Structure 1
């Protein structure tokens, strides 16, 4: 095949405008909004931020001195409050937040009110295990609702989470735990992938065996031990008395009264590490006010989210897309979304389309590699 032929195949200049009916009901239907935003960016972002719930108002929208920027100076808020409690308090507690499907076929649903209960109990469990505002918590978990609960619980109590992709090795996990100075690791006995169990607890044990002096405890969610399918033999890893605790023992015993910690807009929300493909992984720090405002706005406008939508982003929360467009952006908008743990090819390559049909997904955000 010649270069000219390849260039021809790679050239795409067709335009597919939306239908008139679609454009009429779109969240963005005024082309002048872009010019107005460019003309006064302070007012533009102040408008978006004002749609969130603040515990104390900001006095300055931004202090922009490249390469440094501060957002919503003086303001205080809580990301979990805006993603969960705000919807419950405004009468939407009975709305479904998550439709979670596991690779074995198990399906669970959680309303926003139920998410608040789970997150509050987990937040109290983290505090009972010694986690305080400003601490870092490493999350090495299956791509399911419990991972989202853990992220939100950290945000609720003011601890920064550091999610590590469940496909990473013990060495990669150790590197991220020690660099972040994590006080606690939250993991699971295992996760499902390609019909097999990924032994997350065993990998966690191997990572901590390399030395992690900051870690004082490990909280373990029992995922593959649940009645979610035919469970093959697997190694849960050794149990370390005094360090390891089962999620169901600690979390289920907690009160569901866990107030949201007021956070300065510039307080740390989470750390997420780069892949390390071009060198040592770098921990990228995301602060609360500016980040939450940004993903709230982009989720609403880019995906045209409506209250009636069933939204599904197939990204893993081990990456920034999962943080922004599975947890914080969609939940700040109060949508119903699908979560899926596992391979798109189990039991066959129609799995994604069956999930879309079964759960009546109206908006799908995925990658070309997944479609292929």
Structure 2
């Protein structure tokens, strides 16, 4: 059965699996894939290309991922809980679906899509709250072979339009509104603004959630509940090729344009299943809760696909950790008997700042495994989590991975392999990490630091960036040909455990979500008061990294001290409008100039040191075009 196949139970099992995965990867991954439901088996396990980035897995195989998430469980687990939905307001009724009920809901939504002209290969964008219909819609797209692209329901209309147009989506799925803590947000209105600039969209399907009246454009917009009346609850799964696109998920890079990371069907399925089973050590009766939004890759792999592939029970939460009070996470754990809990360091740090009674008021006796995701967890947060949430009896796993990797790459396996605070741990079977010098030489031995790269492909590796494979090659395989370059720096301790020490490129990790500095700068520069800007990350007590913007005003915009607050507020408004609240700068410093070389390159190294408060260690500035600007920036530091 799914929960037992290829299960690693002991550290000796891990060592054996890792050895086999390196010595004979094709046989190893063929064995792991064997128990899935295949319409046709593969003719080759893998084709590796860590130079051009053309990687393929299970070539020639035919399958549908939803048959593996749902259909194959019906005989033995049809009446088992598949999905628990916990609403934003604890007074609102929760919703539970068994595997049989979820299967029917997915088939019905799939038929609604088919009845509205969605065909295999079409791109469908989803901008929805964390409600059951979001999970159901994702699976419904996969059921009929449509490519789903979930957009986090906090992005602005401009950011939605960018993603819809890049994917050339024909259909958008949304809702009337959403709940987020004490706020209610008019989701449909934001979509309507975006679609004024999206000529490819011919249909919008709207899920009723808040009961709000919304504008429905005749000929384009339909209500899901009305369409569902005509839709059957059975729908045969579309046969897909192993390398057919499953989803596009947009993520920021070091340029200003978000890139659509593409994952394909078979390799992603095998990787999501295998990593979920072994990292979380989930058992048949566990209640598993990943707090991530489905708009991020963690929600894809470890809220939906990983748990359902394994026949597990997964909990989906609409709300936020501090509503109606800062005990909400712990109340939900006790209410549902959650046994495995997976959340972000940002959430942990924000709850650490509240009175300890918020966590001590709950028993949390059901918990047996704690996980962390999105960014490296600092030691203080690790110890608080282990002591007060896990009661010093639950292993804490600190997982490192990326949107582009599809699933966890480096992590302790819960209760199986060694852990160390603030260290991700050891690589999963099939993952071969290396530390490189800046010149690309491998650094041997332990107690070393370098650029983190991977020297062999794995089933969940990024296939391409939608419509622009050259960007994939340049970003991930170009810097060090023969390696997948992660963009992260890492340290390997004396025992071979890896610790991630941050980005080495122009990307800022805010609350576990990556933003390219160029993307935020482009947004700031749209403001009428701004001539130029430079953005860097700096240490933030809650978010991990905050966004620090250095901005040059247009002449006359910032003449007096009274002008500055208004300009800063308008810059924040511009960023929120262009990207969303999640990307707004934490600090804005208005400057007369930026530290540039004589060729015009901005010296971000200097700005990072200013933002981090290391102003006594700026280094040589005599080669700059205007060295005096550095002293002015230091004196004006926030």
| TM bucket, shorter chain | 0.7 to 0.9
What are the Cα deviations for residues 278-335 of structure 1, in whole angstroms up to 9, with x where unaligned? 5210001110001111111000011111111110001111111111111111110010
Deviations 1:44-75 (A, max 9, x none): 11111112110111111011122221100110
Q: Deviations over 1:118-143 (max 9, x none)?
A: 11011010011110001000001111
Q: 1:1-372 alignment to 2 at 5 Å?
A: 29-66=13-50, 67-88=53-74, 90-105=75-90, 106-209=93-196, 211-225=197-211, 236-275=213-252, 278-372=255-349
State the 1:151 CA deviation: 0.5
Name the structure with the higher helix share: 1
Task: Indicate conservation of the 8 Å contact 1:184/1:218, yes or no.
Answer: yes
Which residue in the other structure is 1:230 paired with?
none
1:27, 1:331 → 2: CA distance? 26
Q: Secondary structure of the residue that 2:48 maps to in structure 1?
A: strand
> Bigger shift: 104-113 or 276-285?
276-285
Residue 368 of structure 1: CA displacement? 1.1
| CA spacing shift, 1:25–1:62, aligned 2, 3 Å | closer
Change (3 A) 1:129 1:94: same
The normalised TM-score by structure 2 is: 0.52
- Greater CA drift, 248-257 or 281-290: 248-257
Contact 1:27/1:301, CA 8 A, preserved across alignment: no
Secondary structure class of the residue paired with 1:338:
strand
SS at match of 2:302: helix
Compared CA separation, residues 70 and 303, structure 1 to 2 (3 A): same
CA contact (8 A) 2:125 2:171 kept: yes
| Number of aligned residues | 339
Q: Which moved more, 1:25-34 or 1:258-267?
A: 25-34
Are 2:8 and 2:278, in contact at CA under 8 Å, matched by a contact in 1?
Answer: no
User: SS in structure 1 opposite 2:233?
Assistant: coil
Do the aligned residues in 2 keep the contact of 1:221 with 1:246 (CA within 8 Å)?
Answer: yes
| Cα distance in 2, alignment partners of residues 197 and 69 from structure 1 | 43
5+ residue gaps, structure 1, are: 1-22, 226-234
RMSD: 1.7
Aligned equivalents of 1:171 and 1:281: distance in 2? 12
Structure with the larger RCO, 1 or 2 (CA within 8 Å, 6+ apart): 1
In structure 2, relative to structure 1, the CA distance for the partners of 1:39 and 1:288 (3 Å cut) is same
| Secondary structure of 1:166 counterpart | coil
Counterparts of 1:292 and 1:251 in 2: how far apart (Å)? 28
- Kindly indicate whether the alpha-carbon contact (under 8 Å) linking 1:28 and 1:301 is maintained by their aligned counterparts in 2: no
Contact 1:140 1:185 in 2 (8 A): yes
Conservation of the 8 A alpha-carbon contact between 1:217 and 1:244: yes
Q: Kindly tell me: are residues 195 and 275 of structure 1, through their superposed partners in 2, closer, same or farther at Cα, counting changes over 3 Å?
A: farther
Instruction: Give the Cα–Cα distance (whole angstroms) in 1 for the partners of residues 316 and 21 of structure 2.
Output: 34
